[in-house]
Amino acid sequence: MRLTRFNIVIFIGFLAIVGVIIMQLLLLNKALKFEKKELESKIFFALQDVVERIYSDNKSSITFNNQIKKVSDDYYIVNVDDVFENKILEHYLKVEFQKVNIDLDFEYAIYNCGTDKMVYGNYVSSTGKTPDKCEECFSTNNDLIYYFAIRFPDINKTFYGNLQQYWIFTFVLFLVLIIYVYSVFLMLQQKRYTELQKDFINNMTHEFKTPLSSILIASNFANSQNEIKDNPKLTKYVQIIINQSNKLNQHIEKILYVAKTDSNQILLEKSTVDLEKTIDLVKENIVLKHQKEINFKIELDKNYKIRADEFHFYNIIYNIIDNAVKYAGKDIEVDIKAKETNKGLSLSFSDNGSGIPLKDLPFIFDKFYRVTREDNKDIEGFGIGLSYVKRICDLHKWKVSLKNNSGKGATVKILINKEDIKNG
């Protein structure tokens, strides 16, 4: 895999999350050891006090050390080396465990030297649940005579239960890691799709534009020949080829614009654009394209100069006016107004068409969305003109909106930021 900045960021992020999880696991392990050690100390102190109380009852003194032996986390042997009774032992165990806040179930057994067996004592539950006795869990010790064994069946559950917050944090970190890995997978997949789209755009530019240019060159050359000019039918057919080729070229350009904006390949090259000249140029091209009588009404407060990408600024105005003309009636009227407000320059384009159905208004700037019109089924297009306008306005950080007029038609309004306006 090629080492790119994107891959480095992903790798560092992954290492950071894994490192935090490892630290959390080490902290969890340390906390577990501390919890075990603390509980073990409490058990040792409590059992030591039990032995001392037995000796006190017998009015004797302890003459040896190491009375308590830990066999495992849940099993202890206590060497008393003196006589004691079952009930008294159980009472002392309860009292001493309560003193050190040991709230655990326990069961115990006492060694009977006469039978050389462990005699099961009792199961003491701290929660009142049904005892789950395990009499076979106690074994004898050949080195001792007076001793008892005690077992804590639920001690391991207590260890992990007391660390509940650590487990929650660890779970959250693992969840973050899973989400991160999944997000990276989606980003890599999206990156692959973007690269495929980029390849498609490049291939489309070459595969479509090159033969289309050849067709236009050949058609224009043929149209200039006397043999074609002298034959009305051939002139008509050649003109159809030229017109349809130009129309196809416009569709390809629109698709390329939208594809480039989606893949973030468009980089704005801002310069100072003359608003009046741009509108006049668009007006001329619209008239040449549609070959219709169009009544333009242009009202500009001033000769505004706008800081924008000249190429894309021309295109968004062209797309808006082109839509207004396509969907207008017989007597086409297009009103263009520019008025400066407190928020910026309000540039509006109004037509006298049939307007937009209310159900379609929320989706009018969506890519490939086309308004269904019974009276305009012959109008061609892909529904990408207004989505392109929206995208370019977003790149300029301008606001664009569309609403129906109170009478006929609709109005597209672009709000240009104050910092992008220069008075002429």
State which residues form the domain around 97. Answer: 5-161
Clarify whether residues 10 and 157 are in a common domain.
yes
Paired residues of 151 in beta bridges = 75, 107
Indicate if 378 and 297 belong to the same structural domain. yes
Which has the closest alpha carbon to 274: 317, 314, 309, 305? 305
Joined together, the tokens standing for residue 250 give 């416009």
Name the pTM for this structure: 0.47
Is 177 domain-assigned?
no
Strands 344-351 and 147-151, by their bridges, are: unpaired
Asked if residue 418 and residue 278 are part of one domain, the reply reads yes
| 125 inside domain | yes
Residue 195 confidence (pLDDT) above 80? no
Domain membership flag for residue 110: yes
Q: Which two structure tokens, joined as six digits, stand for 243?
A: 């017109």
* CB-based contacts of 187-195 (< 8 A; 24+ apart in sequence): 187/10, 191/6, 194/263
Do residues 58 and 82 lie in contact, with contact meaning Cβ atoms separated by under 8 Å? Answer: yes
Is residue 168 included in any domain, yes or no? no
Number of domains forming the structure of the chain: 3
Q: Which of helix, strand or coil describes residue 83?
A: coil
Q: Are residues 224 and 145 located together in one domain of the fold?
A: no
Q: Has residue 195 been placed in a domain?
A: yes
Share of the chain above pLDDT 70, in %: 86
Angle 311-314-318 from CA coordinates, rounded to 5° = 140
Determine, yes or no, domain membership for 121.
Answer: yes
Q: What is the CATH number of the domain that holds 355?
A: 3.30.565.10
Higher per-residue pLDDT: 193 or 26: 26
Return the structure tokens found at 42: 């409490």
Q: Does residue 99 sit in the same domain as residue 68?
A: yes
Are 298 and 403 found together in one domain?
yes
CA distance 272 to 318: 18
Q: Is the pLDDT of residue 399 over 90?
A: yes
Helix (H) or strand (E) holding 258: helix 232-262
Asked whether the predicted pLDDT for residue 258 surpasses 80, the reply is no
Cβ proximity of 285 and 406 under 8 Å: no
Mean pLDDT, range 281-302, rounded to an integer: 83
Q: What number is the average pLDDT over the span 43-67?
A: 83
Name the band, by pLDDT with cuts 50, 70 and 90, for residue 382.
Answer: low
Whole-number pLDDT of residue 378: 46
How much is the pLDDT for 377? 47
250 and 318 inside one domain: no
- Whether residue 14 is contained in a domain is answered as yes
SS3 content of the chain, % helix, strand, coil (to 5): 55, 20, 25
Do the domain assignments include residue 19? yes
Residues 16 and 141 occupy one common structural domain: yes
Same domain, 258 and 292: no
